[in-house]
């Protein structure tokens, strides 16, 4: 969109207060940004316009014949793709472009489009409709991601692997238990998205400007027509909220950080040095110069998205950090928030595909567990329980045993009671005389996992309980997405149908009518 003739600016009467049209440099920068980004809100602003005029007709502010003509133009515009409309940045934003389009067809009717409504009300309403749709879509994508995680976790309930902290071997665990540590954060992400949706799906409509309106605007009717769950009570707050975009981005960033942490682990595990996982070829990319490489491109993309959206969160907080009732947080949010949600939706779907195509190298994981020293905690606890030591003394003895095992190049599973007694004599001045069976059980990875039978543990029974719980929560979230989406679709379709029918009524269908105004 370049700089065009400014006659349209004057034709709308926008130059009555100002002597000059917008400067070319203003058009090229702020106006072009707002007009271009607002195009994302095309269909949503169409719904906002239709609901506003329907409401104005019903409360007798707009004469019925004028209102029907205006609805007729708006219905035509509603069915016109934004790509077929030549948006002019000289007009400043999407709202003024729409008004200009209607004015070229019926100037007398177009003059009523802004009755009782600021341009920011129209764009804010459209923004909320656009964001609520995407929040629902993201929630739906996340339910599928959670399901993919749970499917893999259930498949690998008994697949033993070494857990890691600081990228150092920790306790023996299972792939299933590891994956469940991501299922729960993703379910919390769904909770956050649902809470965010509830605050987003509130109508700002009918606020007049900042303090309400002299006109008998029916805010509840606008809420109903547009499928909002509630009305934002304070009219000034309805127009100028800065925390909404920040909240949406915070929920997006929390979600992406959770997904990224899994992606980061999988990138490490996909290296030859670990060789724990193998991505499906369809989620990898070959090197142009090194024929042997299989790059985990999908996982690198997830990491990059997380970084970019963290930046968007910071930007939304910064543009909202102004005196109240400023335009900054609005004009930048129109494009940035929907784009962030669209990108995150695609990323969640990508990660779902990666997990569905991912294969785990169970043999390598088992070998690394057997050949490591992650059984040390259990060995110390056996010393405490059977040898009568404090845990601190047991910790010292096992630390010495592990050091000697490392120096001798042996895994902990090869440690016997004699080596333990040797370390105990050096540290405690006496042997422990543990039974060989007790030592063998303490260093057996499968036995260690089976001992974690408490709530949330890695043993089979608590694992199956967690998977069942998470599936129930995931299904509930999926059902909420489906039912809420159906209600919104029904409301939007009913609005268009009602407006279309109202526009088609003959001039005398409603009887004689005059515009009603408050004194």
Beta bridge partners of 162: 172
User: Residue 433: its pLDDT value, please?
Assistant: 86
Look at 15-24, 150-159, 240-249, 265-274 and tell me which has the smallest mean pLDDT.
15-24
Mean pLDDT of 251-266: 98
Mean pLDDT of 228-238: 96
Higher pLDDT, 5 or 446: 446
Q: From 414, 419, 447, 445, select the one nearest 434 (Cα to Cα).
A: 419
Classify domain 22-117 by CATH number.
Answer: 1.10.275.10
Mean pLDDT of 261-275: 97
pTM, rounded to two decimals: 0.93
Look at 53-57, 201-205, 507-511 and tell me which has the smallest mean pLDDT.
507-511
pLDDT-derived band of residue 2, with 50, 70 and 90 as boundaries?
very low
Number of Cβ within 10 Å of residue 29's Cβ equals 12
> What are the strands, taking DSSP E only, across 110-167?
160-165
What residue segments make up the domains of the chain, in order of their start?
22-117, 121-163+175-205+229-362+463-482, 376-443
pLDDT-derived band of residue 209, with 50, 70 and 90 as boundaries?
confident
Asked whether the predicted pLDDT for residue 517 surpasses 70, the reply is no
Look at 17-26, 63-72, 299-308 and tell me which has the smallest mean pLDDT.
17-26
DSSP type of residue 23: P
Number of Cβ within 10 Å of residue 384's Cβ equals 16
55-80 burial string, b = 16+ CB within 10 Å, else e?
A: bbbbbbbbbbbbbbbbbbbbbebbee
Taking CA atoms, 272 is separated from 267, 360, 454, 472, 507, in Å, by 11, 13, 35, 37, 77
pLDDT of 276-318, one tens digit each?
999 999 999 999 999 999 999 999 999 999 999 999 999 999 9
User: Residue 8: its pLDDT value, please?
Assistant: 55
- Report d(CA 145, CA 352) in Å as an integer: 5
What fold does the segment set 121-163+175-205+229-362+463-482 form as a domain? Fumarase C; Chain A, domain 2 (1.20.200)
- Report d(CA 449, CA 161) in Å as an integer: 10
Mean pLDDT of 59-83: 96
pLDDT-derived band of residue 470, with 50, 70 and 90 as boundaries?
very high
- Report d(CA 411, CA 402) in Å as an integer: 9
406-422 burial string, b = 16+ CB within 10 Å, else e?
A: eeeeebbbebebebbbe
Percent of residues in the chain assigned helix, strand, coil, to nearest 5: 65, 5, 25
- Report d(CA 138, CA 190) in Å as an integer: 9
Comparing 22-117 with 121-163+175-205+229-362+463-482, is the CATH topology the same?
no
User: Residue 12: its pLDDT value, please?
Assistant: 54
Q: Label the pairing between strands 230-231 and 202-203.
A: parallel
- Report d(CA 240, CA 328) in Å as an integer: 10
Select 376-443's CATH number: 1.20.1530, 2.60.120, 1.10.40, 1.20.1440.
1.10.40
Higher pLDDT, 415 or 2: 415
pLDDT of 133-185, one tens digit each?
999 999 999 999 999 999 999 999 999 999 999 999 999 999 999 999 999 99
pLDDT-derived band of residue 327, with 50, 70 and 90 as boundaries?
confident
User: Residue 18: its pLDDT value, please?
Assistant: 84
Q: Residue 13 is encoded by which pair of tokens? A: 């009467």
Look at 5-19, 108-122, 285-299 and tell me which has the smallest mean pLDDT.
5-19
Which residues are within 8 A (CB) of 238 and not within 5 positions of it... i.e. 6 or more apart? Answer: 121, 124, 203, 204, 207, 231, 232
User: Residue 17: its pLDDT value, please?
Assistant: 79
Q: From 256, 284, 241, 334, select the one nearest 39 (Cα to Cα).
A: 334
User: Residue 14: its pLDDT value, please?
Assistant: 53
Which residues are within 8 A (CB) of 35 and not within 5 positions of it... i.e. 6 or more apart? Answer: 1, 87, 88, 89, 91, 92, 93, 94, 97
Asked whether the predicted pLDDT for residue 197 surpasses 90, the reply is yes
Share of the chain above pLDDT 90, in %: 87
pLDDT-derived band of residue 506, with 50, 70 and 90 as boundaries?
confident
Q: Are 96 and 14 in contact (CB under 8 A)?
A: yes
pLDDT-derived band of residue 514, with 50, 70 and 90 as boundaries?
very low
Mean pLDDT of 39-48: 94
Helix intervals (H) in 358-390: 362-370, 376-387
DSSP type of residue 210: T
Q: Residue 310 is encoded by which pair of tokens? A: 């963290």
Q: From 151, 145, 21, 141, select the one nearest 90 (Cα to Cα).
A: 21
Residue with tokens 């440690």: 415
Q: Residue length, the chain?
A: 519
pLDDT-derived band of residue 1, with 50, 70 and 90 as boundaries?
very low
pLDDT-derived band of residue 507, with 50, 70 and 90 as boundaries?
low
Mean pLDDT of 322-339: 91
Q: Residue 324 is encoded by which pair of tokens? A: 């109240």
∠ CA 434-440-445, nearest 5°, is: 135
Instruction: State the average pLDDT for the chain.
Output: 93
Torsion region of 231: left, alpha or beta (phi above 0 gives left; psi -120 to 50 gives alpha): beta
Helix intervals (H) in 17-59: 24-26, 32-38, 42-58
Which residues are within 8 A (CB) of 461 and not within 5 positions of it... i.e. 6 or more apart? Answer: 453
- Report d(CA 330, CA 323) in Å as an integer: 13
pLDDT-derived band of residue 7, with 50, 70 and 90 as boundaries?
low
Higher pLDDT, 293 or 7: 293
- Report d(CA 393, CA 432) in Å as an integer: 12
User: Residue 19: its pLDDT value, please?
Assistant: 84
Beta bridge partners of 212: 208
DSSP type of residue 79: T
The secondary structure of 457-508, three-state, reads: CCCHHHHHHHHHHHHHHHHHHHHHHHHHHHHHHHHHHHHHHHHHHHHHCCCC
- Report d(CA 214, CA 208) in Å as an integer: 8
Mean pLDDT of 94-121: 94
pLDDT-derived band of residue 15, with 50, 70 and 90 as boundaries?
low
- Report d(CA 167, CA 29) in Å as an integer: 48
pLDDT-derived band of residue 512, with 50, 70 and 90 as boundaries?
very low
- Secondary structure of residue 202 in the 3-state scheme: strand
pLDDT-derived band of residue 510, with 50, 70 and 90 as boundaries?
very low
């Amino acid at each position: 969109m370049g700089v065009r003739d400014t006659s349209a600016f004057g034709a709308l009467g926008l130059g009555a207060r100002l002597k000059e049209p917008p400067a070319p440099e203003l058009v090229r920068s702020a106006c072009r940004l707002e007009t271009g980004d607002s195009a994302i809100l095309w269909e949503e602003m169409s719904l906002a316009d239709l609901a506003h005029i329907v409401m104005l007709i019903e409360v007798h502010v707009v004469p019925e014949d004028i209102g029907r003509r205006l609805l007729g133009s708006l219905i035509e515009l509603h069915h016109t793709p934004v790509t077929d409309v030549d948006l002019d940045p000289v007009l400043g934003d999407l709202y003024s472009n729409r008004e200009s389009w209607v004015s070229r067809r019926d100037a007398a009717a177009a003059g009523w489009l802004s009755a009782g409504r600021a341009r920011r009300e129209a764009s804010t309403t459209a923004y909320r409709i656009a964001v609520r749709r995407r929040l629902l879509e993201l929630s739906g994508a996340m339910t599928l991601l959670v399901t993919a995680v749970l499917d893999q976790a259930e498949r690998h309930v008994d697949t033993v692997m070494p857990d890691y902290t600081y990228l150092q071997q920790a306790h023996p665990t299972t792939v299933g238990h590891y994956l469940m540590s991501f299922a729960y954060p993703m379910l919390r992400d769904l909770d956050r998205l649902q809470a965010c949706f509830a605050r987003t799906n509130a109508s700002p409509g009918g606020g007049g400007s900042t303090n309400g309106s002299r006109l008998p605007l029916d805010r509840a009717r606008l809420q109903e027509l547009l499928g909002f769950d509630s009305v934002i009570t304070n009219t000034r707050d309805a127009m100028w909220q800065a925390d909404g975009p920040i909240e949406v981005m915070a929920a997006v960033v929390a979600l992406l950080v959770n997904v990224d942490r899994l992606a980061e682990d999988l990138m490490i595990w996909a290296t030859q040095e670990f060789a724990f996982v193998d991505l499906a070829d369809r989620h990898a990319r070959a090197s142009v110069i090194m024929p042997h490489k299989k790059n985990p491109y999908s996982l690198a993309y997830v990491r990059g998205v997380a970084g970019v959206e963290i930046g968007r969160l910071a930007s939304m907080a910064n543009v909202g950090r102004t005196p109240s009732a400023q335009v900054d947080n609005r004009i930048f949010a129109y494009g940035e928030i929907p784009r962030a949600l669209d990108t995150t939706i695609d990323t969640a779907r990508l990660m779902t595909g990666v997990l569905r195509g991912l294969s785990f190298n169970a043999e390598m994981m088992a070998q690394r567990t057997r050949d490591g020293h992650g059984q040390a905690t259990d060995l110390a606890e056996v010393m405490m329980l059977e040898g009568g030591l404090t845990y601190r003394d047991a910790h010292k003895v096992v630390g010495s045993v592990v050091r000697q095992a490392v120096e001798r190049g042996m895994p902990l599973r090869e440690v016997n009671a004699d080596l333990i007694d040797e370390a105990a004599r050096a540290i405690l001045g006496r042997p422990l005389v543990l039974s060989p069976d007790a030592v063998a059980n303490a260093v057996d990875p499968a036995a260690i996992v089976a001992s974690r039978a408490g709530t949330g543990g890695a043993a089979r029974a608590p694992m199956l309980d967690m998977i069942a719980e998470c599936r129930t929560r995931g299904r509930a979230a999926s059902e909420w997405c489906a039912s809420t989406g159906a209600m919104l679709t029904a409301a939007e379709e009913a609005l268009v149908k009602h407006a279309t029918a109202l526009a088609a009524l003959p001039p005398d269908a409603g009887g004689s009518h005059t515009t009603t105004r408050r004194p």
